[in-house]
Amino acid sequence: MIGQLRSVVIDCPDPRALAAFYAELLGVPLAEGNSDDDWVVLGGPPGHQPRLAFQQALNLRPPAWPDPERPQQFHLDVTVDDIEAAEKAALALGARRLPGEGEGFRVYADPAGHPFCLCWD
């Protein structure tokens, strides 16, 4: 092993707003002492998982799922017990449904346009 995953970092225009969305969606708290206007971290200190960081990217061109000209770049899979309840809650937080679903998953965009999937078994 060369190293350990520190954080998954997501570019976005408003780090605080997108961090608040994912804090509610995933139940991961704001990391203490690791935030300012252009960098916000959810989770514990480095080495504790999960950790999501949000960095400001003022001219971000968000993905356009499923357009290959603007690919998804990354996505998160979020496991849920009840897809209908989870979808309703995610939409209330500001997510939007995207085209595409399969056996055990549906595709959404967060408020900044990044795709993520709600998954169930």
Would you give the end-to-end CA distance of the chain in angstroms?
31
* Average of per-residue pLDDT values in the chain: 89
How far, in Å, CA of 41 to CA of 53, rounded? 4
Q: Which of 3-7, 63-67, 78-82 has the lowest mean pLDDT?
A: 3-7
Q: What is the pLDDT of residue 23?
A: 95
Q: Which of 27-31, 45-49, 76-80 has the lowest mean pLDDT?
A: 45-49
Which residue shows structure tokens 């001219």?
59
Q: What is the pLDDT of residue 5?
A: 72
Spell out the domains of the chain, with CATH numbers in brackets: 6-54 (3.10.180.10), 74-117 (no CATH)
How far, in Å, CA of 6 to CA of 24, rounded? 21
Tell me the pairing of strands 96-102 and 52-56.
Answer: unpaired
How far, in Å, CA of 72 to CA of 86, rounded? 22
